[in-house]
Amino acid sequence: MSVTSEVDVGVAARLFHGLSDPTRLRILLGLLDGEQRVTDLVSAVGTSQPNVSNHLACLRECGLVVDRPAERRQVFYSIARPELRDVLVASERLLAEAGHDVRLCTNPLMGAPREDGCHG
């Protein structure tokens, strides 16, 4: 399947841009093992509850995660589509093979840190 013939390239770019946020990516990777509560994700991601909740809201609005209310006002989150799970697993395999090259990439268009330590 060709992205240019099947899907608007802009929509695909928006998807990958959304996945490029480290917090959202950590949340999604944390959900690979199954549904999680916000408190579980806070521990796994290492950031505040409001930050995790905001990112989950973004992911939910974009159809990447779904929520399931439980007792005592708890909510469980999970990956919405098996295709997203496949993309995340494939990215882990790709990084196992090409991660060193990606890490060494200094092209500022790829978000590489500048020599002064800032991101381009």
* 69 vs 75: CA distance, rounded Å: 4
Pair 65, 80: CB distance under 8 Å: yes
The pLDDT, as a whole number, for residue 7 is: 66
Q: pLDDT tens for residues 8-25?
A: 888 888 888 888 899 999
* pTM as predicted: 0.79
Q: pLDDT tens for residues 49-94?
A: 999 999 999 999 999 999 999 888 889 999 999 999 999 999 999 9
Rg of the chain taking only CA atoms, in angstroms? 16
* 41 vs 67: CA distance, rounded Å: 13
**29 CB burial (10 A radius; 0-12, 13-18, 19+):** middle
All domains of the chain, ordered by start, with CATH? 8-102 (1.10.10.10)
119 has a pLDDT exceeding 50: no
